[in-house]
Amino acid sequence: MGGMHAPPRGRRAILVTDAQKPIGRATALHLADRGNCVLAAAPTLDGLEDLPRETAAGGVIDVAAADLATADGCERALDRVQALFGQLDALIVGATTASFGPLEDVDDAHLREVFERNVFAPVTLLRAATPRLRARGRGVVICVGSVVGRLALPLSSLLSASHYALEGVCDALRLELRPFGIHVVLVEPGIVRPGPGASPLERLEHGFDALARESPYRPLAAALIDAFREIARDAPTPDVVAEIVHRALTAKVPRPRYTVSRRTAAWLFARKVLPDRVVDGRLSKVMGLRGLAAGASEDGAD
């Protein structure tokens, strides 16, 4: 789209990452439909051809192919925001690469891939963007992480570890940037209802299919898939996540963390106030793992 589109008064110029994924796409559309100027970035423009538009509310979406895992790619995307909109007011940073499987089966390449996408790439963009926001004297950084950054599940060790790391980055950065008028926020979805693209449930099913038939983890994986399918029936959609992002973006003083569903909020509250052993027991019950644990104990006794 040609020409500069300065945001309407009271609206923002925003860089949204992961626009090729359901949450990133929904967020870009939602924010533009509320009058903001959005650059939706993704590794390629495949599937984004319909996004560029002006909205009835005075907002606009443009798209950019950018490798946001590299410093040069981040600088080019940020320069593009400046060229299009004349300013940078906010970042919406996705870290939504899922990974499921037993820890003992993880190879070094996959370990690095998950941390590259969920930790190192967001950190690379944050390092590039924070000097610009600091010079402006205000701004909002919203990282869309996952509830597993505070509530680990079986067969999700890499996913949980990478999001735990992102939580630590955001907690520290929130304090670092507070004196400069910049808010840092975490949005923590749980399971999101499947939409276009591979959902976490589909990735878990794929991981289950990849397990060797004699793997001791197959019953565990099967139980988790059944539990996830049940939860996914009334899970929030990407549009609900986008609305939470907008709520955080427009709050006068945003909270450090936003959950997306009551179920997620309840589990995180339980993790905060109950002993770990009690939470483990409740998770085992919900995920259908209690029988498996009993069976394992009986096998061990034999």
171-178 long-range contacts, CB within 8 A, separation 24+:
171/256, 173/126, 173/130, 173/141, 174/256, 177/130, 177/133, 177/134, 177/141
Whether 225 maps to a domain, the answer reads no
Whether 8 maps to a domain, the answer reads no
Whether 262 maps to a domain, the answer reads yes
- pTM, full prediction: 0.89
CA distances 208 to 107, 177, 226, 290, Å, are: 16, 42, 12, 19
Whether 76 maps to a domain, the answer reads yes
Whether 91 maps to a domain, the answer reads yes
Look at residue 100 in the predicted model and tell me its pLDDT: 85
Domain that includes residue 76, residue range: 13-196+235-281
Number of compact structural domains in the chain: 1
Whether 293 maps to a domain, the answer reads no
- Tell me whether residue 294 is exposed, middle or buried, using C-beta atoms within 10 angstroms of its C-beta: 0 to 12, 13 to 18, 19 or more: exposed
Whether 288 maps to a domain, the answer reads no
Please give the average pLDDT of every successive group of 10 residues along the chain, which has 302 residues: 66 94 94 96 94 93 95 97 95 86 91 94 97 95 94 90 96 97 95 62 68 80 84 88 96 95 90 93 84 48 38
Look at residue 8 in the predicted model and tell me its pLDDT: 66
Look at residue 213 in the predicted model and tell me its pLDDT: 72
Tokens of 100: 């499921």
Look at residue 190 in the predicted model and tell me its pLDDT: 86
Whether 43 maps to a domain, the answer reads yes
- What does the alpha-carbon distance between residue 109 and residue 111 come to, in Å, rounded to a whole number? 5
* CATH code of the domain in which 42 resides: 3.40.50.720
Among the listed residues 147, 129, 149, 148, the one whose alpha carbon sits nearest the alpha carbon of residue 139: 129
Look at residue 158 in the predicted model and tell me its pLDDT: 93
| CA neighbours closer than 13 Å in the CB half-sphere of residue 54 | 10
